[in-house]
Structure 1
């Protein structure tokens, strides 16, 4: 289930989730930090097989939901790893008052992973505020919902029409229109994007879409041209 994606990073695809009648694929990443502990990004449904495969690589120390939408499976993970720190992206503390978060995710990486991972908060959006990460060893940028791509035929009927209009279906991953139209503070978004484009990215992961494995920085520039052009 875990697939090697680059130096010290693995990915796994999980069960689909349904929101508003739309079914979304799920994906997580596991990064092994310099201290050999594991950083789990966007946790998917935890199965016994996935747990076994993860624990081969180290101990889970950090559970990292990257935005306020990707928290559905946190309960399974916090029961399985009660000593792991759960990190709060903007807006999630208010939504999940039942979770004892260790700390908040901000514009600077936590000391625990600063040697391995950089990050920036993409703020100014009405739907969600997303924390975008960069794993240095694999030169991978990790987006969650801001960039998406579904295969042709994934949706049917009126949902297919909506998905096409929303730019969720296309030749390469894109920022859906619903996110483009709900960036009320574009200056903040452009500032975050400028930092992202400084990273020497080769690969791009996203929760909903096939990874980009070459020329990641050029791809990001194309995906956000609507914001910078």
Structure 2
């Protein structure tokens, strides 16, 4: 149900089809020093998943990557965990007016999770700001749509589309995202902030988890930004 990847860090992978292409999506679960759980990009809260989470600890925070990525099923976590706080990426409160959010995410982590998790607001895109996360105990970088990683284990159709979008066996955003970056200097500074973290593992928004060598892979995936 959950796969432990490192110190107090687990992932859960589920299917996601977009225009007929299987992309997959990944939920990350981090156990904080306080004992509570920080859930990023929540998956559908099935009875089996809830039981597994409950065995790990109390869900305290539920966070997305952006207004487009990782907000599905948040209402299920609100219903199941009334004391949990829902965190919003920029633009998400307007998109999910059906939800009450407790905190708006930005560059500065809240002290309640900041000991374990750092964050950066990746800015400069025309219409999307994404929150990248770094889990210190497991040295894991967690991305959303700025970090696809489609590999050879993906279905043939997915691999073909990934080649066209320039995300096959590379960590980074699809070509259409790159073409709609409005302020490249700001976007570059955000990615430099991400690269300043001491991460080794990378959990992408879609695709295959990279267990080691993550910093070099991100740098190579963003070579177009640093030319």
Q: TM-score, normalised by structure 2?
A: 0.93
Give me the CA root mean square deviation.
1.7
Whole-angstrom distance in 2 between the partners of 1:79 and 1:126: 34
The match for 1:154 is 155
Cα distance 1:162–1:210, how it changes in 2: closer, same or farther (>3 A)? closer
CA distance in 1, matches of 2:84, 2:100: 11
Counterpart position of 2:226: 228
CA distance, structure 1, for counterparts of residue 102 and residue 216 of structure 2: 35
**What is the aligned partner in structure 2 of residue 139 from structure 1?**
139
Q: Return the offset for 1:215.
A: 2.1
Q: Using the alignment, how far apart are the partners of 1:160 and 1:141 within structure 2?
A: 23
- Does 2:166 correspond to 1:167? yes
Q: Any stretches of 5+ residues in structure 2 without a counterpart?
A: none
- 2:32 equivalent in structure 1: 33
Q: Is 1:63 equivalent to 2:62 in the alignment?
A: yes
Mean CA deviation greater in 24-33 or 71-80? 71-80
SS of match in other structure, 1:75: helix
Deviation at 1:181, TM superposition (A): 0.9
Which residue of 2 is the match for residue 102 of structure 1? 102
Instruction: Please state whether the residue corresponding to 2:212 is helix, strand or coil.
Output: coil
Distance of 1:78 and 1:97 partners within structure 2 = 14
Q: Which residue of 1 aligns with 2:3?
A: 3
Q: Tell me, in whole angstroms, the C-alpha distance in 1 between the residues paired with 2:140 and 2:7.
A: 10
Q: 1: CA distance between counterparts of 2:83 and 2:23?
A: 30
Gaps of 5+ in 1: none
3-state DSSP class of the match of 1:225? coil
Q: TM-score, normalised by structure 1?
A: 0.92
Contact 1:93 1:101 survives alignment (8 Å): yes
How far does residue 161 in structure 1 lie from its aligned partner after superposition?
A: 5.0
Aligned counterparts of 2:169 and 2:209: Cα–Cα separation in 1: 13
Give me the whole-angstrom Cα distance separating, in 1, the residues matched to 2:216 and 2:149.
Answer: 17
Contact 1:155 1:163 in 2 (8 A): no
Question: Where has structure 1 moved over 6 Å in runs of 4 or more?
Answer: none
Within-5 A mapping of 1:63-82: 63-69=62-68, 70-82=70-82
Displacement after TM superposition at 1:80 (Å):
1.1
Sort the Cα spacing of 1:162 and 1:127 in 2 relative to 1 into closer, same or farther, 3 A: farther
Query: How many pairs does the alignment contain?
Result: 225
Cα distance in 2, alignment partners of residues 173 and 154 from structure 1: 18
